Every structure is written in structure tokens, then in C-alpha cells.
Structure 1
Amino acid sequence: MSKTIFEKIIAREIPGDFLYEDDLCACFRDINPGAPVHLLLVPKRLIPRIAEAQDGDQELLGHLLLTARRVALEQGLGETGFRLVINNGSDGGETVPHLHIHILGGRELDWPPG
């Protein structure tokens, strides 16, 4: 099985503009931003999508959410707000089969998003 683009970025096989990294995840800028701040928070362990997460993934999933909050605050989004997005499947907008959280902010975001 070939690596996802996110696995290649995490392995430094493809360049990425990293803002955060620990043993469980990495956060880097989206190369096609949909907002002034558009970051991707990706677990290092491959979970193809949130629908395929298992009960044993709860610690990692909690870590991802708390890390997303931390990174958003470090980027100055705490006062005006930010959005966290997880796409699942083609109808949900998923384009890379590797679970990731979009961290979006820096402008007013419309609702509904689709």
C-alpha cells in the first residue's frame, strides 16, 4: 500500500510548513488554504477516516482535539474564533484517506459551509 500525502509530509519526503509536532501528530499549513489561517492536524498513525476509528483510538482522538485548540490559540484565533472540520468520505469532502482536522480562521466563516 502506498503512503498518503500526509504520511509523506510527516516523513519529510515532501516539504511541509510545520507549526507543531509531537509523538502522536503533526500540524502544518494547507497548501490550498480556504481561509487566512488553514492548518491541517494529522495523526502520525494512519486512520483512513473518522468512520474507521475504533474505541481504542479515543486517547488519540482526544489528543487531536486538544492539540487543535492549542494550535488555534497559538495562531491568535482565540478571540475571534475558529472552525474545526473533519471530512469523511467523498460526499463529506474527503480527498485524502488519512484522518485529519482542518483548523480554519482569520475571517468570518459562513454557515452552512457546503
Structure 2
Amino acid sequence: MKNNHLIFKKIIKKEIPAKIIYEDKLITAFEDIKPKAPVHILIIPNIFIETSNEINKKNKYIFSHMFYIAIKIAKKKKISQDGYKIILNCNKNGGQEINYLHIHLLGGKKLKALY
């Protein structure tokens, strides 16, 4: 399970196909292959960070950029007015399935609260 992060590395390197929505020198955003909503985009840093626990002074700018781009994509996908979720899972008990920092942008329908 520890090497499951390789799929994201291969998407960044364009070694496996993905429907890329946005990319720049810091991050890559692409459609989830098993969407949980009409809009389900994954946003990942282009450098490997395993979990949110590894965010530090040197790389914290990437995390804020991920959120900034998520909001831009929400506006582009026309889900910003009705609402959307940005979800970050950390480690096994937090629901993280791929050991590579990523956020989910979900929208396009009424989403249930998690609490």
C-alpha cells in the first residue's frame, strides 16, 4: 500500500492518461476516475508530499496554492455559487487511500454534511 503514490507521480509525468483540468509548475489537477459527485477533481502537488503531516515552512506555499486553484476550478466549473467541498484526508483513519498529499474538489449536486 505504501507505493500506491506512484500513480500520481505517473500522472504528473504523463506516463498514464488522466483528464488534466489544470497544471502549473507547482500542482496538477485532474478528474477523479471514480467520481463521488458530478464534479470531482483531485489536486496534487508536483513534488511528493506523503500526507498533510509533512507540510512545513519550506513547502507550505504549495498547500495554499492547491486551495487557491481549487477555488478557481470551482468557479470555472460553475459550482462556486451553489456550493462545493474541498476535502483533505490524512492517513488511514482519516480516509486517505493514496499515500500522496491531495485534495478533492467535489460539487455539482447537493452534498451531505460529514458530521
Q: TM-score w.r.t. structure 2 length?
A: 0.92
**Residue aligning to 1:94:** 96
Provide the aligned C-alpha RMSD in A. 1.5
User: Cα deviations across residues 22-52 of structure 1 (Å, max 9, x unaligned)?
Assistant: 0000110000000110000010001001012
Give the superposition deviation at 1:111.
1.1
Distance 1:90 1:4 in 2: 17
Partner in structure 1 of residue 64 of structure 2: 62
**1:4 deviation in Å?**
1.7
Show structure 1 runs of 5+ residues with no match: none
Mapping 1:17-28, distance limit 5 Å: 17-28=19-30
Deviation at 1:79, TM superposition (A): 1.1
Matched, 1:75 2:43: no
Aligned residues: 113
Q: Which runs of 4+ in 1 moved over 6 A?
A: none
TM-score w.r.t. length of structure 1: 0.93
Mean Cα deviation higher: 50-59 or 99-108: 50-59
- Structure 2: runs of 5+ lacking an equivalent: none
